[in-house]
Structure 1
């Protein structure tokens, strides 16, 4: 690549975890493919314990679309408790990585024109300001989530006691109400370290020059408008531009290997939209009791399935966040977690995958017609953009808020009557939910949930095309940085 021909250099900074890394890779790919005069570099602070993270980075490097510089996460265990919450760990990791980030930015041959960080890297905005580089925050989630983050410092002064104990929903100007049980994990305990870290993220976002959000106008017009309206949340942002540039999902990075060829061949043999895919994300785990009920529920539903099985946990729903495996050849081990005889009884209708599966390839497959999901935003977008309805099964982070958005606002998902993190969902309810999203009415030959999600898929496709809202937003960003280069 001839540096002299490049008009601008965009540098991205991702914190550890697939939920942050994947959308940043896609953001970088989008810049590089659509705006070919840009040089794009990704600074990836890595956890060093996630095989999936390593594999995704290696795949991205093979495309040669963006330059990737890995920054090993610093040793932080002398600074935090061994069982510190993920938000605390991420914020401390990114804070301690600042010297390496500053060095990487300072040593670049082509001066950065724009520096984009995720919400856990907002402390590095000060580095960009020192170096006089335009700086943005990329929110790899939706606009309603961003609204809650920036409004939390206000709620902190307004509300007494724990948020989860409030009798009324939390009110954010111009946005849909947030039920107390839907608040993000750091807000569950206002006396915790991670709450203090999270609250400060809300303040630091306001130091950026602009904000990019992995959503699009047609999906969240109300919340995006509230962020821009000076009588609503725009008053807090003080004219900081907010751009909906999504949906950015895994599309261009190869994630399949010979390991998964038998799975894809099995899917090829199934009828259209007949298979439900079950996965709790790269870091999600469930209890042994819940795994047993889920197995029985799938069997009772009599629907075809692909289930990514991870060892049950007694610790927390995010127990695998920093230790995700890419794949595990110990296939026989999964039988130890499941009801006796389950494998033999479901052999003709189901496939089990240990630890990790090529999710985007599965959700794109014509035979997949449903997704039982933890509702991480990456997974949510992959499901929506492939027209696949969901069973919302939130576990941690902002997933409860995502589930409400999917079920109540968009109508593209169903969910258990009680949060799965509060009570074991029984097999009959699981079977009922599976049938609700998978079975097509024999008389009407349609499923209303499938109809709604396909309509949203169409709006997502239009947003990214030339003339679409997200395409126009990205063009405005590029115009801004090239004019300043």
Structure 2
């Protein structure tokens, strides 16, 4: 039996890396003919990624997944420049060398079947072409966002539209991947900034040349968006989600070595569906003025709360790595922790999946990162949207308006690329929290519970994502180059 070896190239951002490793597990668990080599590009500054990658050797039991750590490139950390592009380009020689060694060491029954590339690693397609093997893209965001990228790339390259003119525009745009008009104000900053729009949309152009795009979504969540992709010139699309990392997210340590025991013990003492959980992802943080408004809103709302509060990064203008406060009282209103001690808990890092799974959680104030969105839906927890950066504004619009699965605190708040939207007031935040927590039984709340059931069925035998994964495996094996 010929074994097909796939080379995975994720970017070392924790949200991308974890979901690609989980994808590798799905493939090798499903078909004994497949094995995966994951190439780990090394960042010089991210402790979360370091901790996760160091744990992989022991946490991943699959004998047909192996990890190759590439040398660290010492490049700058400015997020406003071409950091990511430069970082990926600097790693291409390392990837080429690692794959050459893999091919040289392969047994007579092993064959290189192709590359599976992160959605922002599309320039690595050149390496696959050199080796004469196919490329696939792993898309870590929604089908609707993939549709947006493909549509904007066509507008830019074929209709000569200057996409950056939508910045600060009040117009509403017609996107094939949405049934509703999309406000220009929720487009991601990366397409509204002249330095970044062309390289970003170049990824969409390169994706068209691949054998297929693997999307972390499922048909039942985004039926219209998934159907729209063929008309936008996408190659084969495989919705195989939700791909989540849930195993091991219990009371034990998470990827960065923290322990969540005291958090879970506190939740155990709370009534069912009574706690609002505030958590803003691995890059989520706020300045002191905004923190005080959030505290005021929580206290006035009267609802029980669990608040993951992170310290801003030490250096402004660099890749944002928040940390935990030694004492959160230093940024909170005087007496806040004492006054709310009976109903609330302020923490640093949070074991997010374990918290969302807990019966005490009744709502989730979220930045709307796609992984967090899929986790909240999996556990049937309704979201109040407070996006910060990247495509999160777009995700918030999809959740609130397109899918009717969330309520809004704010949809067009943003903080990346210096496109600051100011501070949300305590009144705005309190209103969102009250709407989130006091609408149990609403149509939106019922829809979240229904989608939760559908997300689980999609992965079971005969489910939509199960069948899509089977098609992907068949295509991988059929697209292998002839020896």
1:173 shift after superposition: 3.4
Cα separation, 2, equivalents of 1:408 and 1:175: 10
- For the structure 1 residues 159 and 484, does the alpha-carbon distance in structure 2 shift closer, same or farther, using more than 3 Å as the test? closer
Equivalent residues, number: 456
Question: Does residue 390 of structure 1 match 2:383?
Answer: yes
- For the structure 1 residues 274 and 185, does the alpha-carbon distance in structure 2 shift closer, same or farther, using more than 3 Å as the test? same
8 Å CA contact retained: 2:71, 2:94: no
8 Å CA contact retained: 2:387, 2:410: no
Question: Does residue 434 of structure 1 match 2:433?
Answer: yes
Cα separation, 1, equivalents of 2:358 and 2:31: 29
CA distances 1:241-265 after superposition (whole Å, capped 9, x unpaired): 1111111111235573272211111
Aligned to 1:183: 187
Question: Does residue 208 of structure 1 match 2:201?
Answer: no
Cα separation, 2, equivalents of 1:45 and 1:482: 27
Question: For 2:340, which of 346, 370, 375 is the aligned residue?
Answer: 346
Question: Does residue 304 of structure 1 match 2:304?
Answer: yes
TM-score (norm 2): 0.88
1:167 shift after superposition: 4.5
CA distances 1:359-391 after superposition (whole Å, capped 9, x unpaired): 111111121121111111011111111101011
Aligned to 1:416: 409
Question: Does residue 64 of structure 1 match 2:61?
Answer: yes
Q: Which runs of 5+ in 1 are unaligned?
A: none
1:266 shift after superposition: 1.1
Q: Which moved more, 1:345-354 or 1:401-410?
A: 345-354
- Secondary structure at the aligned position of 2:50 is classed as helix
- Secondary structure at the aligned position of 1:305 is classed as strand
Q: Which runs of 5+ in 2 are unaligned?
A: 415-420
- For the structure 1 residues 159 and 227, does the alpha-carbon distance in structure 2 shift closer, same or farther, using more than 3 Å as the test? same
8 Å CA contact retained: 1:283, 1:321: no
- For the structure 1 residues 224 and 406, does the alpha-carbon distance in structure 2 shift closer, same or farther, using more than 3 Å as the test? same
- Secondary structure at the aligned position of 1:112 is classed as strand
8 Å CA contact retained: 1:384, 1:456: yes
Cα separation, 2, equivalents of 1:174 and 1:409: 10
TM-score (norm 1): 0.88
8 Å CA contact retained: 1:6, 1:39: no
Aligned to 2:418: none
Aligned to 2:153: 153
1:44-193 pair list within 5 angstroms? 44-62=40-58, 63-65=60-62, 66-77=65-76, 83-85=78-80, 88-108=82-102, 109-110=105-106, 111-156=111-156, 157-160=159-162, 162-173=165-176, 175-176=178-179, 177-189=181-193, 191-192=194-195
Aligned to 2:225: 223
1:85 shift after superposition: 2.4
Cα separation, 1, equivalents of 2:430 and 2:170: 32
1:314 shift after superposition: 11
- Secondary structure at the aligned position of 1:113 is classed as strand
Aligned to 1:474: 469
- For the structure 1 residues 418 and 479, does the alpha-carbon distance in structure 2 shift closer, same or farther, using more than 3 Å as the test? closer
Cα separation, 2, equivalents of 1:224 and 1:313: 37
CA distances 1:152-203 after superposition (whole Å, capped 9, x unpaired): 22222443461224443233335343321111121122x22x2232122122
Question: For 2:30, which of 12, 17, 34 is the aligned residue?
Answer: 34
8 Å CA contact retained: 2:313, 2:320: no
